[in-house]
Amino acid sequence: MLVARSELLEVKKRTELYLSLSRFDAAEKLLKATLADYGPLANIHNLLGLTYHKQSKFSEAIKEFNQALIVNPEFVEAALNLAATLCDVSRYEEATQVFTKLEERVGDRQRQPGLVLGRLANMHVASGHAYVESGMLNEAIQEYRKALALYDKMPDVKLSLAKLYVKVGQNEKAKQEFEDLVKDSPEISDAHTWLGILQYKLGHRDLAKRHWEKAQETAPDDSTARAYLKFVHSWNGRSKASED
């Protein structure tokens, strides 16, 4: 049975209204009735998946997003929602495979896997920021890690993750993140500054000085790095005086 575009648009509007009011049962009833009347429709399966996702019914959501992609294998939004839900249940490899399959299907007409993965990763970044604002740092760390597992070309997120590791006292993990960051993005002065702080705490003063100098070289106006270098110079001065 054919369904008019206007009817689908009305179903979509009503569903969005129900979801905004947390009337999940009403949304579910409407969408299932639409599928019963008109047969498989990618948009409707996608909306039903979103309805389940908002209730944390992840298994049901995954099933509906998959159904949407069966109806329309090139449905980017459904693929995005499916991958996001797979990440929610820590199935990262499957999430990446979703986009690999999508890229194979759309061919040269729509080859933007990086863009799509970036959009998905940004969802986790936004959640991470929200957790930070709420003081839920461990939860924020998990969200940033999910984002970087999907799309690692986000040095600002790596920097935020490393700083969070410092805040929760996981200095070794923070040091590893900062080391990776200065290797991949040496232009980020803040990463050198923080790595210098960690090296100093570990007793590696020469390494600390080297990173603070690099931070100052990269960003001459970096007042934090300048302050630490003054500290190093004063310490060196005191050491020399004691020797005399």
**5-63, pLDDT tens digit by residue?**
678 888 989 999 999 899 999 999 999 999 998 888 999 999 999 999 999 999 999 99
- Cβ atoms 155, 145 nearer than 8 A: no
Which tokens sit at 54? 């908002």
- For the segment 201-213, what is each residue's pLDDT rounded down to a tens digit? 888 888 888 999 8
pTM: 0.55
CA distances from 164 to 43, 61, 148 (A): 39, 31, 14
The half-sphere exposure of 146 on its side-chain side, counting CA atoms within 13 A, is 27
pLDDT per residue as tens digits for the range 65-123: 999 999 988 787 888 889 888 888 878 788 878 877 776 665 544 444 555 667 777 77
Closest CA to 176 of 162, 163, 189, 186: 162
How far apart CA 160 and CA 191 sit, in angstroms, is 10
Q: Pick the closest to residue 127 from 111, 146, 106, 143 (CA basis).
A: 143
**Average model confidence (pLDDT) for the chain?**
84
Taking the C-alpha atoms of residue 41 and residue 18, their distance in angstroms, rounded to an integer, is: 19
Query: Identity (one letter) of the amino acid at 192?
Result: H
Handedness of CA 172, 173, 176, 182 (dihedral sign): negative
Q: How high is the pLDDT of residue 240?
A: 44
Q: What pLDDT, on a 0 to 100 scale, did the predictor assign at position 113?
A: 52
Grade residue 241 by pLDDT with cuts at 50, 70 and 90. very low
Of 151 and 193, the one with more pLDDT: 193
